[in-house]
Structure 1
Amino acid sequence: MRKPIDYVSGHAYPGMVALVTSSYEDKQNIMSAGFHTTIGYAPLIYGFSLRKETYSYDLIMKSGNFGINFVPANLAELIQIVGTRSGRDEDKFSKYNIEYDNGINLNVPILKEAYFAYECKVIDSRNYGSHDFVTGEIQTIYKDEEKFIEIDGWTMPNMNKLEVPLYLGRSVYATFNGDSEQKDYVKYRFK
């Protein structure tokens, strides 16, 4: 039975975790973001939540840029590690052998393992209590074509070629793939 509670629980999970990358001068960082979303399409805007005290926040505000990277389930442990370590204390790219390319348009690392990624230019940052919500206009979109299919003009992940990590909470992940049950409600598609 549903009842009122006085604490935040894992109600928003399971969900995808984005890896946020940043770079300023000779410093760079990578962090996990569980709270992130597309804001709009005209222009393309993406946003995520983070605390001001983080090393990533400092680099992003100084550079005015960030990267959003989505990686396959075989990297769930890396997602957890980079989300629980500070870039002030270690170079996570070197320590965890994270390969990346520099962004085409902005100075942000784009992970070589990412099946989908964005380069974003910061347009706003607003405080909402314990976290700030940072929004950026998407400048470049990267997609591993082999991991996606087209259905009625809409690009969707090909779950027979991609395994997506879903964060359940408390450092626990599940894998969504072609073996997971999927239902197609074709009769309700937009026309």
Structure 2
Amino acid sequence: MRKPIDYVSGHAYPGMVVLVTSKHEDKHNIMAAGFHTTIGYAPLIYGVSLRKEAYSYDLIMKSGNFGINFVPANYAELIQIVGTRSGRERDKFSEYNIEYDNGINLNVPILKEAYFAYECKVIDSRNYGSHEFVAGEIKTIYKDEDKFIEIDGWTMPDMNKLEIPLYLGRSVYATFNASSEQKDYVKYRFQ
């Protein structure tokens, strides 16, 4: 039975967690973020919620850029590790053997294993309680074409070639793949 509760509890999971990359001068960092979303399409804008105390937030505000990286399910452990360790005193890229390329248009790391990624230029940052919501205009989009299919003009992940990690909460992940139940409600598509 549903009832009101008297303690702090947010319900946003299960959901995808992205790896946020940042770089300023000779410092770079990677962190996990569960609160993120597309905000608009004209121009393309993506936002991510970060704690102001996070090292990544500092690098992003100094550089004005950030990367958003979607990685496959076999990276769930890495997502958890980089999301629970600060990069202020360590180089997480070196320590965890994370390979990346420098962004084409912005000075941000783009993970080699990302099946989808964005380079974002900061356009706004606002405080919402415990977190800062940082919005960025997407300047470059990276897509591993082999991991996607097109259905009726819409690009979707090919779940026969890609497994997606879903964060359930409290360091627990599930895997969404071809064996996960999927339903097609074609009769309700826009006409």
With normalisation by structure 1, the TM-score equals 0.99
> Displacement, 1:70?
0.3
Percent identical pairs in the alignment equals 90
> Displacement, 1:13?
0.5
> Displacement, 1:8?
3.1
Corresponding letter in the other structure for 1:28: H
> Displacement, 1:15?
0.2
Structure 1 CA distance for aligned equivalents of residues 110 and 144 of structure 2: 13
> Displacement, 1:10?
5.2
Which residue is equivalent to 2:179? 179
Corresponding letter in the other structure for 1:14: P
Structure 2 CA distance for aligned equivalents of residues 52 and 134 of structure 1: 10
Q: How do residues 1-191 of structure 1 correspond to structure 2 at under 5 angstroms?
A: 1-9=1-9, 11-191=11-191
> Displacement, 1:12?
1.1
Structure 1 CA distance for aligned equivalents of residues 110 and 156 of structure 2: 21
Residues 79-137 of structure 1 deviation map (CA, whole Å, 9 limit, x = unaligned): 00000000112100000000000000000000000000000000000001110000000
Structure 2 CA distance for aligned equivalents of residues 6 and 30 of structure 1: 34
Corresponding letter in the other structure for 1:13: Y
**For the Cα contact (< 8 Å) 1:116–1:142, is it kept in 2?**
yes
> Displacement, 1:6?
2.1
Three-state SS of the structure 1 residue aligned to 2:180 is coil
Query: Gaps (5+ residues) in structure 2?
Result: none
Three-state SS of the structure 2 residue aligned to 1:61 is helix
Stretches of 4+ moved more than 3 A in 1?
none
Structure 2 CA distance for aligned equivalents of residues 17 and 6 of structure 1: 27
Corresponding letter in the other structure for 1:167: Y
Structure 2 CA distance for aligned equivalents of residues 8 and 48 of structure 1: 21
Corresponding letter in the other structure for 2:98: I
Corresponding letter in the other structure for 2:160: N
Size of the aligned set, in residue pairs, is: 191
Structure 1 CA distance for aligned equivalents of residues 103 and 180 of structure 2: 33
Structure 2 CA distance for aligned equivalents of residues 6 and 39 of structure 1: 31
> Displacement, 1:146?
0.5
Residues 152-187 of structure 1 deviation map (CA, whole Å, 9 limit, x = unaligned): 111100111000000000000000000000000011
Instruction: Kindly report the root-mean-square deviation, in angstroms, between the aligned alpha carbons of the 2 structures.
Output: 0.7
Query: Gaps (5+ residues) in structure 1?
Result: none
> Displacement, 1:7?
2.3
With normalisation by structure 2, the TM-score equals 0.99
Structure 1 CA distance for aligned equivalents of residues 169 and 23 of structure 2: 28
Corresponding letter in the other structure for 1:95: E
Structure 1 CA distance for aligned equivalents of residues 139 and 87 of structure 2: 25
Structure 2 CA distance for aligned equivalents of residues 136 and 5 of structure 1: 35
Corresponding letter in the other structure for 2:142: Y
